[in-house]
Amino acid sequence: MSVTVLRLGHRRIRDQRVTTHVCLVARAFGADGIFVCGEKDGGLLESVRKISKKWGGSFWIEFVESPVKTIREWKAAGGTVAHLTMYGEPLLGHVGAVGQEKKLLVVVGAEKVQPEIYKLADWNLAVTFEPHSEVAALAIVLDRYFGGAELTGEQPEELGAALKAKIGKQ
Q: Could you report the per-residue pLDDT of 76-94, keeping only the tens digit for each?
A: 999 999 999 988 888 888 8
State how far the Cα of 118 lies from the Cα of 81, in Å rounded to an integer: 10
To 10 degrees, the CA torsion angle through 1, 50, 133, 129?
A: -10
2-169 fold: Alpha/beta knot (3.40.1280)
Task: Report the predicted TM-score, pTM, of the whole model to 2 decimal places.
Answer: 0.86
Amino acid 26 reads A
Q: Could you report the per-residue pLDDT of 143-168, keeping only the tens digit for each?
A: 988 888 777 754 445 445 555 555 55
Predicted pLDDT at 166: 52
